[in-house]
Structure 1
Amino acid sequence: MRSRLKLTAAVGAFALVAVAGVAAFYSVAGNAGNSASCSAARPVAARMAPLARGDVAAVQVHGTPLPTPDLAFNGPDGTPTTLSAFRGKTLLVNLWATWCPPCLKEMPALDALQSALGGPDFAVVAINIDTRNLDKPRAWLDKRKIAALPYYADPQAKVFQELRAARKVEGMPVSLIVDAQGCELAILQGPADWASADAKALIGVAMTRP
């Protein structure tokens, strides 16, 4: 009886390992496929690299663009949405919070960038990750007349955790430049003057096709 139980347990363990191995294989294969599709954006990234200077000198442009996690958050009306809903637009994805002074400092510049370039081909997606006092972020934006930015929020801050897991992001704010196919062209860990001529030049190239 004991030997039969041991055999059953061994077979079960083997099955679990086999299933996990198959899942891992398909996960890696899927990521490889995404990476391959993002490699087509290399020419755009190469044109962007020399423009990471001045007010956006700290932006890290990827030699090979990376698949961007399909971050999930709430739209302006509170309904769930994801980054893939913006497919077809170049995005500046920014995570911010009211407890982050550098985040607050760059919000007017992000608002100005959205006013200047926002439209069918580009959007600033600024996602608030406050987990307490959930009325505070909107009130802060209203008080400072930051009106061009639609209000996106993730009150569980899962978007930050997902980016940290995928990109080893450790601090705030963090901004990603994502192309129209959902490939991450560049990342900035820290604030920038996104309304500057340097930033607009960088974004302008990101909006071009390979």
Structure 2
Amino acid sequence: MRRGLWTGFIIAGIAVIAVSAFEFWGRLGQGDIAPDLRLPALDGTTKSLSEHQGNLVLLHFWATWCPPCRKEIHALDRMARTFAGKGLVVLSISEDQQNAREILTRFKQSYPFSFPVLLDERGEAADLYRVFSLPETILIDTQGMIIKRFDGPQEWDSIRLLKYVEALLPPEKKR
């Protein structure tokens, strides 16, 4: 009987590892087409990824309760302002769930920034893009293909990242 119990535990453990590995390696990555998403925005409108085709898009998954997310928000805003009108669109996707509108409205008063906030209150966009930790940012090219995933906080206004993003901007919009 004990032998059967141990065998069951071992099989269950292997299954958990296999599912976790699939989830990790099954993530959308470089070269994959970014699935369209349509989410309500904090300003009351609805935004979709497809409406920004022809632009370089940064999908930034974050939450107000995430300290690294709060820390990088101003640097991300500086990047967004640097490339405003030059072909970069920043769409922040909030993973705040309960009372998200109220929490985000207060947050933006304390931490003002210029880019739109989309509400993913049920986590559907995070599931679609297989986001497992915050912050996570996905860079999408002008044709809707994923270029890069950034796991964890970044120094968005660093010279290195600014040059990286600038090189990817659509040439006709760089002026």
User: More helix per residue: 1 or 2?
Assistant: 1
Other-structure match for 1:123: 89
Distance in 2, Cα, partners of 1:75 & 1:119: 20
The gaps in structure 1 that reach 5 residues or longer are 1-60
Distance in 2, Cα, partners of 1:91 & 1:138: 23
TM-score normalised by L of structure 2: 0.74
Equivalences for residues 10-159 of structure 1 within 5 A: 62=30, 65-134=31-100, 135-144=102-111, 146-159=112-125
Other-structure match for 1:196: 158
The gaps in structure 2 that reach 5 residues or longer are 1-28
Tell me the amino acid that sits aligned with residue 175 of structure 1.
Answer: T
- Counterpart of 1:123 in 2: which secondary structure? strand
Identical counterparts, % of pairs: 28
Distance in 1, Cα, partners of 2:44 & 2:86: 22
Structure with max Cα Rg: 1
Other-structure match for 2:144: 182
- Counterpart of 2:90 in 1: which secondary structure? strand
In the TM superposition, residue 152 of structure 1 has moved relative to its aligned partner by 2.2
- Counterpart of 1:175 in 2: which secondary structure? strand
Distance in 1, Cα, partners of 2:79 & 2:149: 17
Q: Is the 8 A contact 2:142 2:170 kept in 1?
A: no
In the TM superposition, residue 184 of structure 1 has moved relative to its aligned partner by 0.5
CA gap 1:132/1:66 in 2 versus in 1, 3 angstroms: same
- Counterpart of 2:147 in 1: which secondary structure? strand
In the TM superposition, residue 141 of structure 1 has moved relative to its aligned partner by 1.8
Paired positions, count: 142
**Deviation string, structure 1 residues 140-188 (Cα, Å, up to 9, x no partner):** 12112x2322232222221111111xxxx32111101111111110001
In the TM superposition, residue 76 of structure 1 has moved relative to its aligned partner by 4.3
Distance in 1, Cα, partners of 2:37 & 2:157: 25
Distance in 2, Cα, partners of 1:131 & 1:147: 20
